[in-house]
Amino acid sequence: MKLRLGIVVATLTLSMAATAQHAPAGGLVLEPADNDVTDTASLQRGAKYVVNYCLGCHSAQYVRYSQVGAGLGLTEDELIENLMFTGERPFDTMQSALRDEDAVRWFGVAPPDLSLIARSRGTDYLYNFLRGFYADDSTLTGANNLWLDNTAMPHVLWQLQGIRRATETGEAESDGTLHLETVRAGELRAAQYDDVVRDIVNFLDYIGEPMQVERQALGIRVIGFLLLFLVLSYMLKREIWKDVH
Ligand code: HEC
């Protein structure tokens, strides 16, 4: 019992430490990403956004284009036409056009590889991070982020989301959160932008563990088999013990 309590306390402490790592100042609460890795259409859209908007700076070096094509039900032609623009071959991994040295020179820090980012940061965090940019003249890129103060990442989706800025009264609301107002509308309405971000997060979640879709389906089949087996063994047991009673 003592040991169990110890484990519970340790788990709680660890998970609190994990959340604390990304907790921004003030009372911001993560909104759930609600993405669905079994939704192939969403994954296909997400792949396209990531190739177009993210691989300019980030790599996903553990992921091969061919793997993405197979997992997302794309033929080789569709794969090349939709996701491969700079003469890669299907077996290549997703590399960035930007070299780390240049990134450090321009941004002060190399953009992290995206292969496992959903596992290290969590899907909810990614969903909120990509929706959390706002204009801030005091930073190098002119952008800041609610979830990563003074981030070196520019707001690469600004044309879609539009530009938001902290309101005049400035700093914080009573609960510590910044109040943002849109100063320039984007191409998308807020809900549409959320959908785009959800597709991106979905794809990042998927590449973090492409097996998870298969594994979930397999899990359901295994449990079904075990239940069936339980019923059969129970019937068998009754049959065998029938005469003894
Ligand atoms: C112009 C270059 C550039 C582009 C394009 C870009 N990023 Fe970034 N990204 C960065 C840099 C630089 C960092 C490091 C930020 C920091 O540590 O402050 C970063 C950091 C991140 C992080 C880590 C945040 C954290 O909490 O540490 C995530 C997640 C991320 N980017 C996702 C994306 C996604 C998804 C896209 C495409 C929609 C994208 N980035 C496009 C430059 C870029």
The verdict on residue 75 lying in a domain is yes
Domain limits for position 104: 35-208
Which residue did the predictor score with more confidence, 21 or 32? 32
Burial class (CB in 10 A: 0-12, 13-18, 19+), 166: middle
The verdict on residue 21 lying in a domain is no
- Cα four-point dihedral sign 18, 113, 32, 140: positive
pLDDT 10s digits, 12-21: 555 555 444 4
The verdict on residue 244 lying in a domain is no
Our answer on whether the CB atom of 96 is closer than 6 Å to any ligand 1 atom is no
Our answer on whether the CB atom of 206 is closer than 6 Å to any ligand 1 atom is no
The verdict on residue 97 lying in a domain is yes
Tell me what pLDDT residue 97 has.
Answer: 85
Q: Report how far residue 92's alpha carbon sits from residue 2's, in angstroms, rounded to the nearest whole number.
A: 52
Model confidence, pTM: 0.80
The verdict on residue 201 lying in a domain is yes
pLDDT over threshold 90, residue 24: no
The verdict on residue 238 lying in a domain is no
In 3D space, the residue among 120, 84, 96 whose CA is nearest the CA of residue 208 turns out to be 120
First to last CA, the chain: 39
The verdict on residue 171 lying in a domain is yes
Residues sharing a CB contact under 8 Å with residue 81, sequence separation 6 or more, in sequence order: none
CA angle 65, 202, 17 (to 5 degrees): 115
Q: What is the mean pLDDT of the chain?
A: 87
Tell me what pLDDT residue 21 has.
Answer: 47
Structure tokens at 4: 């169990």
Our answer on whether the CB atom of 106 is closer than 6 Å to any ligand 1 atom is no
The verdict on residue 73 lying in a domain is yes
pLDDT over threshold 60, residue 34: yes
Counting atoms of ligand 1 from 1, which one is nearest the CA of 106? Answer: 12
Are 57 and 98 in contact by the 8 Å Cβ rule? The answer is yes
Average pLDDT, stretch 87-112? 91
Average pLDDT, stretch 168-191? 76
The CATH number linked to 101 is: 1.10.760.10
Q: For 26-30, 98-102, 204-208, which range has the lowest pLDDT when averaged over its residues?
A: 26-30
Number of domains forming the structure of the chain:
1
Q: Report how far residue 6's alpha carbon sits from residue 225's, in angstroms, rounded to the nearest whole number.
A: 35
Our answer on whether the CB atom of 210 is closer than 6 Å to any ligand 1 atom is no
